[in-house]
Structure 1
């Protein structure tokens, strides 16, 4: 069982420090974050996984909220909305679903609007309600959203929303940030105290969805970030390959399969080549020399069968392998590649802090450990990989905070 240790620091609760306002639009609606906390019991940590995403309580936010935000990506659609508590204050609620189920997602939005915002779009219309949308799907599904929800829709830039969301989480929500301690096999919660907010910048954001975007952030203003790189080898790559090579039906099932696999049965290791480690250049015997490098030999391992005479039956070939091993190998391949490119970008721009986010991570132990190991290995221990408990909701959270007071008639 993975233990969780914490590094916590007291935050100021004075009125001047309790209201969060970003600098990315003219007149952003403030959010009272005094006493904010993630709603979960630490006893819920089980096995090697962090708990599922939980609500964020805002016990002192009393202003009216008439916005819902969504981030429709290539693989997943996410929503953030505010629900009032009878006793005062309220909670930020988070939900995600595969974008292939877009109709189900829109139906869920309808239910949220009806229950929490008194808007069914037909018989009852809340003129003040705004749906703030970001991600590629905010353009692709704009007409469907407009037709079925019948409310004001405000489209926002995806990259800007990511930065606003990340800044909010890392600066305002206690115990949101963590890293993986390889020596003790523990998740360590940490945070940046508000009194030292200048230490937040600069940093590199590595957002891993279907693909990967890497963004250098130098400050809290609208012009203080730039996309410096990325990769087409991301969550969509892993999902696509495992959809063909395994019987998995969704991404979470693939991650579960990977957690049970042994990559050494399909990956070619340094020890397989040298019979030991190549210590002169820092490679241990169990380091991966070639992802899935043993597969070729296993495909053609039948006695007396030449490569040209080998069967072309794909299913017959797959039977030579354990699906769990394939899943583990490909998870390592994609994650290691992302980790190495991330380190190189951080090194290129002199950035010490690297935040990994996006729905690819899913708070999955092997993914977190692999990305952490890659950063630690390539930086020779000088850099850490930081993660967030709401890692898949940066865009939707940023969109939520883009509501402007000028447009709010509540």
Structure 2
């Protein structure tokens, strides 16, 4: 079995890969990347009742991979460039041969990927999970994703965002009346914390979604694959569906999307892709 490990700043994701299948993906949280990586490795081994001899190769990626400079428990270990892992993992999970893969983490990265292994970083934005938490902390005194998501469930965007129907009674081709004209452009004293929570989620996902569309158009690609932890935010799907009604590009949120980068690291080895072995 090959292990793919995505070592982030606050979370580490790990998955097995064998016989062209993703196996037992899981995540651990820790502030130290080395502790987080070894914690994820130990948890995976224990949960799946494996021996070290069952692991043929370990592939690591992510910002925390720079702290790992020796083999993991003497198992052959390699490092994968993160954008390459994002691209390969996103394609595998979506079943597509070509797409713009969007990795939504603390910030957001846009990657063009082809099944042949051709991967190009198109750019990125600082808008992402860090933006959600930063705004919710400052505006609502909320510091945890789950609390923000729960609060937003009963929110009403019409108390926060300026919509097309608020500024014109005429029909505009391609812009339904409920389309956002300005995020937070109509916030009033009557807006509740629930409304503001939903407004924060909406501005982040609309920004990421529209930038994804622009990246796909620049690359002349029709398919956009969303990956990363933010795919688990339930309100995201309704927001993305709203963008899909306005634009011809196709959005995909595959199963296990949050583990795409870890999976892509494992695939880099199994497919003979690009990686650097740690000696």
After TM superposition, the score normalised by the length of structure 2 is 0.81
Structure 2 residue 8 is matched with structure 1 residue 96: no
The structure-2 alpha-carbon separation of the partners of 1:261 and 1:270, relative to structure 1 and needing over 3 Å to count, comes to same
Alignment of 1:151-166 (within 5 A): 151-152=74-75, 153-166=77-90
Quote the residue 1:106 is aligned against.
38
Quote the residue 1:324 is aligned against.
194
- 1:360-402 CA-to-partner distances (Å, cap 9, x unmatched) read 111x43201212321331x2xx332111111111111122233
Query: Take 2:90 and 2:13, find their aligned partners in 1: how far apart are those partners?
Result: 15
Instruction: Report how far residue 142 of structure 1 moved.
Output: 2.1
Quote the residue 2:65 is aligned against.
138
Structure 2 residue 51 is matched with structure 1 residue 118: yes
Quote the residue 2:3 is aligned against.
68
Instruction: Report how far residue 100 of structure 1 moved.
Output: 3.2
Q: How many residues align?
A: 269
Query: Take 1:202 and 1:91, find their aligned partners in 2: how far apart are those partners?
Result: 20
Query: Take 2:271 and 2:108, find their aligned partners in 1: how far apart are those partners?
Result: 33
The structure-2 alpha-carbon separation of the partners of 1:105 and 1:321, relative to structure 1 and needing over 3 Å to count, comes to farther
Note the residue ranges of structure 2 that are not aligned, 5 or more in a row: 273-279
- 1:239-281 CA-to-partner distances (Å, cap 9, x unmatched) read 221122224342233223222211222222333344x4x4235
Quote the residue 2:184 is aligned against.
292
Q: Is the 8 A contact 2:91 2:97 kept in 1?
A: no
Query: Take 2:262 and 2:245, find their aligned partners in 1: how far apart are those partners?
Result: 30
The structure-2 alpha-carbon separation of the partners of 1:351 and 1:114, relative to structure 1 and needing over 3 Å to count, comes to closer
Note the residue ranges of structure 1 that are not aligned, 5 or more in a row: 1-64, 84-89, 120-125, 172-199, 299-319
Structure 2 residue 266 is matched with structure 1 residue 400: yes
Instruction: Report how far residue 233 of structure 1 moved.
Output: 1.0
Q: Is the 8 A contact 2:133 2:143 kept in 1?
A: no
SS in 2 for 1:294: coil
The structure-2 alpha-carbon separation of the partners of 1:366 and 1:127, relative to structure 1 and needing over 3 Å to count, comes to closer
- 1:198-223 CA-to-partner distances (Å, cap 9, x unmatched) read xx443221221111111222x3223x
SS in 2 for 1:394: helix
The structure-2 alpha-carbon separation of the partners of 1:92 and 1:164, relative to structure 1 and needing over 3 Å to count, comes to same
SS in 1 for 2:218: helix
Quote the residue 1:266 is aligned against.
160
The structure-2 alpha-carbon separation of the partners of 1:93 and 1:282, relative to structure 1 and needing over 3 Å to count, comes to same
Which one has the bigger helix percentage? 2
The structure-2 alpha-carbon separation of the partners of 1:324 and 1:401, relative to structure 1 and needing over 3 Å to count, comes to same
Q: Which has the higher contact order (CA 8 A, sep 6+)?
A: 2
The structure-2 alpha-carbon separation of the partners of 1:78 and 1:284, relative to structure 1 and needing over 3 Å to count, comes to same
Query: Take 1:157 and 1:104, find their aligned partners in 2: how far apart are those partners?
Result: 19
- 1:34-63 CA-to-partner distances (Å, cap 9, x unmatched) read xxxxxxxxxxxxxxxxxxxxxxxxxxxxxx
Aligned counterpart in structure 2 of residue 341 of structure 1, from 211, 234, 238? 211
Whichever of the two has the greater Rg, that structure is: 1
